[in-house]
Amino acid sequence: MLDAYGLPIESRAYAERRIEIARQGYELNCLRRGMPADWSTLPSDERHMWLMTAEAMLERALSDDMAAVA
């Protein structure tokens, strides 16, 4: 299964790790800028895009896991 960027999603755990890495990257960038990591300060389009990407990654990974069980 491929995500929206054409990268393989191996499992739900893999997708969750990628989301966690993205979250940590955002928080690290905020720390470097000397500002608190506050998701509510993201422009609404950027926040929406991040959340939709995360949701799609988890949904596809979960459906992959379910297909492997069936």
The pTM assigned to this predicted structure is 0.46
How confident is residue 7, by pLDDT bands cut at 50, 70 and 90? low
Q: Report pLDDT for 65.
A: 59
pLDDT in tens, 14-70: 777 877 887 788 788 888 888 887 777 666 666 667 777 777 777 776 676 556 555
Structure tokens, 5: 């960027």
Q: Report pLDDT for 30.
A: 81
Residues 6+ positions from 12 with CB-CB distance below 8 Å: 58, 61, 62, 64, 65
Give 38: exposed, middle or buried? Use CB within 10 Å, 0-12, 13-18, 19+: exposed
Task: Report whether 12 contacts 68 (CB < 8 A).
Answer: no
Q: For the chain, what are the domain ranges?
A: 12-69
How confident is residue 9, by pLDDT bands cut at 50, 70 and 90? low
Q: Is 35 helix (H, G, I), strand (E, B) or coil?
A: coil
